Structure 1
Amino acid sequence: MLFTREGIKIVAMVCMLIDHVGLTGLAGEHWLVCRMLGRIAFPIFSYQLASGYIYTSNKQQYIKTIAIFAVISEIPYNLFFGGIINPFYQSIMLTLLISIIGISIIDKWCNFNAHLLKSTIIMLLVLMIFGTLGTLTFVDYGQMGVISTILLYVGMQQPNKYIKSTIIFAIICWANLSIGGLQIIILNREVALQSFAVLSLLFIIPYILQGEQKILQGNKAKVFKYVSYWFYPVHLLILSMIT
């Protein structure tokens, strides 16, 4: 159950909830532990976004769904962060939306097996343009959040699961160790809080090596999919009401 598509998504949702509880102050003196665990969430969501795009039967509907929930999440997100519209800090859903649009362009115009040079140039342009867009729109995790998500999609095109695992391992380590941000002291050493995001690999890599399985089918899978979409705005709304 743990190393399935649904299992690691539940891990990501729980870690995000813990992170946001830490932000509210409800965790008291344990807020820093909550923030550490919260770093696990984004790499898993990024990986699953790219994976979902690859396996979905309707790519346009997939993008549209991400866009709809990016809009739905805006008010709960603003309520959670002080109840005001802050144009300089946007939600993770906008990060994922920008990423998925970049992924769709690479999917349409790049064929690395047939046209390596052309595809590489297009990919680099997409990374530069959409990474810059992530910076200009002040999305959560900024340009590195967008760039790493797009690169995860490219890395997942590798059919060999061991090579794929190695590429994804490298991308997540590189991206999250590059983000920086809040520094904390552990064993008398300064450590970037974001570096704890590499713990997500403890769930992603076994999932890949196991064959990227899912356990839910049919209507149950559809219900779980929309529960996972609604989780983000609903938990933000509930926490904003509590605090």
Structure 2
Amino acid sequence: MKTIKQSTLKYIAIITMFIDHIGAFILRHEVNAKYPAGMKMGDMPGTGDPLLITYFIIRAIGRLAFPLFCFMLVEGLFHTKSKFKYATRLLIFALISEVPFDLANKHEFWYPKYQNVFFTLFLGMVAIWGLSYAKQEMKKCITGKETSILKFLSPICVAMLVSCSAVLLADEIHTDYGMGGVLCIIIMYLIYDMYIETWTRNKAYCMTMLSGVVVLASFNNFEAFAFLDVALIAFYWGERGKVNKYFFYAFYPAHILVLYFACRYILG
């Protein structure tokens, strides 16, 4: 059976994200201008308006991107040599991306009421890092290296505090996908960690993706289009493939800037 490498998943993620952002950063402004009263996504296909139908299709395709990024973030936690450096990279690119994101999204240099998706990924990373730490410390107690009940309970409390704080902070600062995005990453981590050593890799990957999409769809039913990601993951068996990781980090702010200038050129 033909399999998909992780590098292919990353390319699928950035391509679907790019398509989604054409809708979010260009077509959305046309939709808002034509329908100032607003319109629900679910009502768009039935209008017969080519603009709304195109917008709906583009945004539906884009639903595939975020769960793929979340899945690869979870995998990255298990394979990275330095969780600190991993989290730091996410935060740095969150800061770098914020001005391009605000320009494209709101046509403002700085818009503090909505933050780019790198902040969501960063908070998700911090949350699952805390859970990973708790697991390691609990193992020490179970294996007899640490016998104090305080040593056993402390990491659990720390993990709960960090995870809850990350979820609440995402909601408070209004990151892209918000608390649902961080919860998606947390649930994916827990399912991945639970099944990766007892099931075949492929089944564990599929269950991980399925659980994450269920979380997202529970916050917004339009995210249900991301269930297609489960079919993609069914062909993934853990092979990494050749990839330049910094390309995928840099692509986010770069493509947003390109779309911003394209929007200014098209819409004036």
TM range (shorter): 0.7 to 0.9
Report what 1:65 is aligned to.
89
Q: Deviations over 1:200-235 (max 9, x none)?
A: 21222321xx2x10121xxxx3xx211111110000
Secondary structure, counterpart of 1:88 in structure 2: coil
Q: Note the C-alpha offset of 1:114.
A: 6.4
1:155 aligns with 2:191: yes
Q: Note the C-alpha offset of 1:106.
A: 1.5
Please say if residues 134 and 156 of structure 2, whose CA atoms lie closer than 8 Å, have aligned partners that are also in contact.
no
Please say if residues 110 and 122 of structure 1, whose CA atoms lie closer than 8 Å, have aligned partners that are also in contact.
no
Report what 2:19 is aligned to.
18
1:196 aligns with 2:225: yes
TM-score (norm 2): 0.75
Secondary structure, counterpart of 1:110 in structure 2: helix
1:205 aligns with 2:207: no
Report what 2:256 is aligned to.
236
Report what 1:35 is aligned to.
59
Instruction: In structure 2, list runs of 5 or more residues that go unmatched.
Output: 31-49, 143-151, 264-268
For the structure 1 residues 203 and 115, does the alpha-carbon distance in structure 2 shift closer, same or farther, using more than 3 Å as the test? Answer: farther
State how 1:38-49 maps to structure 2 within 5 Å: 38-49=62-73
| Pairwise CA RMSD | 2.4
Secondary structure, counterpart of 1:11 in structure 2: helix
Q: Note the C-alpha offset of 1:170.
A: 4.1
State how 1:1-243 maps to structure 2 within 5 Å: 3-23=4-24, 24-25=26-27, 28=51, 29-84=53-108, 85-111=110-136, 118=153, 123-157=159-193, 158=195, 159=197, 160=199, 161=201, 164-165=204-205, 167-180=207-220, 192-207=221-236, 210=237, 212-216=238-242, 221=243, 224-243=244-263
Report what 1:186 is aligned to.
none
Please say if residues 74 and 185 of structure 2, whose CA atoms lie closer than 8 Å, have aligned partners that are also in contact.
yes
CA distance in 1, matches of 2:191, 2:132: 12
Please say if residues 127 and 166 of structure 2, whose CA atoms lie closer than 8 Å, have aligned partners that are also in contact.
yes
For the structure 1 residues 162 and 215, does the alpha-carbon distance in structure 2 shift closer, same or farther, using more than 3 Å as the test? Answer: closer
More deviation, 3-12/153-162: 153-162
Instruction: In structure 1, list runs of 5 or more residues that go unmatched.
Output: 181-191
CA distance in 1, matches of 2:81, 2:226: 30
Q: Note the C-alpha offset of 1:125.
A: 4.0
Q: Note the C-alpha offset of 1:7.
A: 0.2
CA distance in 1, matches of 2:156, 2:84: 24
For the structure 1 residues 14 and 83, does the alpha-carbon distance in structure 2 shift closer, same or farther, using more than 3 Å as the test? Answer: same
Q: Note the C-alpha offset of 1:81.
A: 1.0
Q: Note the C-alpha offset of 1:120.
A: 6.0
Larger Rg: 2
The AA in structure 2 aligned to 1:34 is I
Q: Percent identity?
A: 26
CA distance in 1, matches of 2:141, 2:59: 43
TM-score (norm 1): 0.82
Secondary structure, counterpart of 1:238 in structure 2: helix
Q: Note the C-alpha offset of 1:82.
A: 2.3
CA distance in 2, matches of 1:197, 1:123: 28
Secondary structure, counterpart of 2:175 in structure 1: coil
CA distance in 2, matches of 1:21, 1:79: 14
Q: How many residues align?
A: 223
For the structure 1 residues 162 and 203, does the alpha-carbon distance in structure 2 shift closer, same or farther, using more than 3 Å as the test? Answer: closer
Q: Note the C-alpha offset of 1:90.
A: 0.9
